[in-house]
């Protein structure tokens, strides 16, 4: 009788043991990153059911998960995010210094691509002729600044050379690439003028424009004009081009 009772107890325990669920195995992966920042990527991957350890020195992520599906999703996300950054954009600027007057005076003939600008200026200002004093070309990286200067030649009357100047704190391309922001632009000329003394000689007068402007690539914008006396004025025209 005792033997039968023991057998029944064993048979009663065995089905319960068979029904006990197996513990899921932990899935572990080590990802060596090429381009992405481990800290930033680790923060993004927190949406998945996984434990993530980052190492900045080794540029790596150690991932632990009990879900193979979550690990597969993490691997796919890393493939999509660990990519080289876009190439830096270069910004090319051309600053034209135009002189408007009643006759063909100082400067050279305008290039053909400024014909439309000259037409607009003639419709807006009383000057009959426009000449090119100087043109400065600058190249900078997106988000960086730049400086340039030129010396287009001696002034009439044997005075010193006119000096053109340009400075900007930064030039930045908008996210959609539709415009370029020029911050703290300072552009102008150092103009030699004769001294009103018996000793003669000359001194310099600074003419300049300070502004923040937004300009579309390929667009020519008149950013300011300054009186130069003797029925003349200086006009500053700016155009930009974005180069990848």
Name the one residue in this structure whose structure tokens are 């057998």.
Answer: 7
The predicted pLDDT at position 204 comes to 83
The predicted pLDDT at position 198 comes to 66
Report the pLDDT averaged over residues 150-177.
Answer: 83
Report the pLDDT averaged over residues 86-97.
Answer: 92
CA distance 185 to 168: 4
Residues 6+ apart with CB under 8 A from 95: 135, 136, 137, 138, 148, 164, 166, 187, 236, 237, 238
pTM of full prediction above 0.85:
no
CA distance 188 to 226: 9
Q: Is the pLDDT of residue 95 over 70?
A: yes
Residues 41-67: tens digit of each pLDDT: 999 999 999 999 999 999 999 999 989
Report the pLDDT averaged over residues 194-220.
Answer: 85
Report the pLDDT averaged over residues 87-109.
Answer: 86
Task: State the chain's mean pLDDT as an integer.
Answer: 86
* Domains within the chain, CATH numbers bracketed: 24-85 (3.30.1370.120), 90-243 (no CATH)
Closest CA to 191 of 156, 165, 233, 162: 162
Q: Is the pLDDT of residue 5 over 50?
A: no
Report the pLDDT averaged over residues 5-28.
Answer: 58
Question: Which H or E run includes 95?
Answer: strand 90-101
Question: Which H or E run includes 64?
Answer: strand 60-65
Report the pLDDT averaged over residues 201-220.
Answer: 90
Q: Is 228 helix (H, G, I), strand (E, B) or coil?
A: strand
Q: Is the pLDDT of residue 25 over 90?
A: no
The predicted pLDDT at position 68 comes to 92
The predicted pLDDT at position 156 comes to 55
The predicted pLDDT at position 8 comes to 44
**pLDDT band of 106, cuts 50, 70, 90:** low
């Amino acid at each position: 009788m005792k033997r039968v009772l023991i057998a029944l107890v064993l048979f009663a325990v065995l089905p319960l043991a068979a029904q006990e669920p197996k513990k899921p195995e932990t899935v572990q992966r080590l990802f060596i990153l090429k381009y992405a920042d481990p800290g930033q990527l680790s923060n993004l991957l927190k949406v998945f059911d996984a434990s993530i350890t980052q190492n900045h020195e080794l540029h790596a992520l150690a991932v632990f998960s009990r879900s193979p599906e979550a690990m597969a999703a993490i691997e796919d996300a890393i493939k999509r995010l660990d990519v080289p950054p876009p190439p830096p954009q270069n910004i090319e600027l051309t600053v034209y210094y135009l002189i408007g007057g009643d006759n063909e005076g100082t400067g050279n003939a305008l290039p053909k691509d400024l014909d439309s600008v000259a037409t607009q200026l003639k419709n807006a200002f009383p000057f009959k002729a426009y000449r090119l004093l100087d043109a400065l070309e600058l190249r900078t990286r997106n988000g960086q600044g730049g400086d340039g200067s030129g010396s287009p030649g001696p002034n009439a009357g044997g005075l010193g050379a006119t000096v053109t100047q340009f400075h900007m704190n930064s030039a930045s391309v908008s996210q959609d690439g539709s415009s370029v922001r020029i911050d703290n632009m300072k552009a102008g000329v150092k103009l030699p003028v004769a001294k009103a003394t018996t000793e003669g000689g000359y001194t310099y007068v600074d003419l300049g424009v300070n502004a923040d402007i937004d300009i579309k690539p390929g667009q020519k914008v008149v950013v300011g004009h300054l009186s130069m006396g003797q029925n003349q004025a200086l006009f500053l025209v700016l155009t930009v081009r974005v180069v990848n």
